[in-house]
Amino acid sequence: MSYSDDSRIVLTLDAGGTNFVFSALQGIKPIADTITLPSNGNNLEKCLQGIVEGFTKLGAKLKGKPSAISFAFPGPADYPKGIIGDLGNLPGFRGGVALGPMLQEKFGIPVFINNDGDLFAFGEAIAGFLPWVNSMLKNAGSPKNFYNLLGVTIGTGLGGGLVTNGKLFTGDNSAGTEVWLLRDGVNPTCFAEEEISIRAVQRTYHAHTRKNESTLLSPKEIAEIAYGNHEGDMVAAKLAYQSLGASLGDALANIITITDSIVVVGGGLSNAYHLFAPAMLAQLNGSISTVTGEQVNRLESKVFDLENEGQCNLFVKGENRKIKVPLSSKEVDYDPLKRVGIGVSRLGTSHAVAIGAYVYAINMLDHNTLHSQAI
């Protein structure tokens, strides 16, 4: 049975610094209107009461009994145990809060909590970017298939998740793929999130603009300036996203050397993909040198922009050919083009996180582990 045919209901939560959005899924599809409540992140008691209230109200809307609660919550956390640590955007959480056990005792059903970057990648691997890529390859008659997916989210912060062969990689300390702490390649005294985030785009624009801006512009406004659709400093706006792209490309290059995976980008800033993609790809397909100055490719694989039709076609086509088997009359397929594709979310970030949370819960309920399964 596929996930889309599963009859079990899972309650999910999108936990933001301002609002908590509660939803219910059945067969990886929403089945009830969402409920939005203030997060009250500065007050732990009110925050916990709000979480209980949200799940209670959501459950009252449903015809069937939920099988589990599964959702993303900011870290640091011991996710397998459901214990939340000291949070930056929800400062009421301090000293370790056993959120999962509290909800399990309150509602009497299993509770699973994960990092949003992990669940985003998992959702895109199950029902979004990864099956989209493999479908294109199959329809083109290509023997190539991809099994690994790196997901990165760029917005308020920089998040990440890795799915390999249908399994979510979390690490031994619930700290796998915490990409925000990579050393930034453009400004190596800082961690990557300082240059790959909303605040980075705003800081770079306002540091270089020749306009006398009276208010801090949003990344969307800066993007509109770059596209020529909003009054402002176009040169500074383009620079802001080029700077983000260069830092993101360097960070991704470091990760891809380990994961050898295709990459999907989500989060609010992914809406400006076409503004930062050229600088990102320049880093990924650029070079790095030996101590004597000899240039070598930054990556062993060539990176293709799957949002560009021409590059996408080249990625799908590959260089497949027949080669002879020595001392035999047989031939085998051989594609020498090592390649990685990168593009934006096919589901939307929040929906991908919800699907990832649903699938994670179903796997844990059935097997207490994660495994690959058809959509």
3-state DSSP percent of the chain in helix, strand and coil, to 5: 40, 20, 35
What is the Cα–Cα distance from 32 to 246, expressed in whole angstroms? 41
Q: Which among 116, 126, 105 is positioned nearest to 3, based on CA atoms?
A: 126
Q: Is the pLDDT of residue 66 over 50?
A: yes
Look up residue 20 and give its amino acid: F
Name, in order, each residue with C-beta under 8 angstroms of 309's C-beta and a sequence gap of 6 or more.
none
What is the Cα–Cα distance from 137 to 146, expressed in whole angstroms? 9
Q: What is the mean pLDDT of the chain?
A: 93
Model confidence band, residue 1 (pLDDT cutoffs 50, 70, 90): low
Model confidence band, residue 372 (pLDDT cutoffs 50, 70, 90): very low
pTM over 0.95: no
Q: Where are the domains of the chain?
A: 3-115+352-367, 147-344
Contact 356, 123 (CB under 8 A): yes
User: Which CATH code is given to the segment(s) 147-344?
Assistant: 3.30.420.40
Question: What is the mean predicted confidence (pLDDT) over 313-318?
Answer: 96
Contact 74, 89 (CB under 8 A): yes
Question: What is the mean predicted confidence (pLDDT) over 72-88?
Answer: 88
User: Which CATH code is given to the segment(s) 3-115+352-367?
Assistant: 3.30.420.40
Q: Which among 151, 240, 238, 159 is positioned nearest to 192, based on CA atoms?
A: 159
Would you state the pLDDT for residue 369?
53
pLDDT tens across 37-60, in order? Answer: 998 888 999 999 999 999 999 999
How many angstroms separate the Cα of 97 from the Cα of each of 66, 79, 158, 176, 233?
Answer: 24, 11, 24, 21, 46
pLDDT tens across 125-143, in order? Answer: 999 999 999 999 999 999 8
* Percent share of the chain, pLDDT over 70: 98
Question: What is the mean predicted confidence (pLDDT) over 65-93?
Answer: 89
pLDDT tens across 91-128, in order? Answer: 888 888 999 999 999 999 999 999 999 999 999 999 99
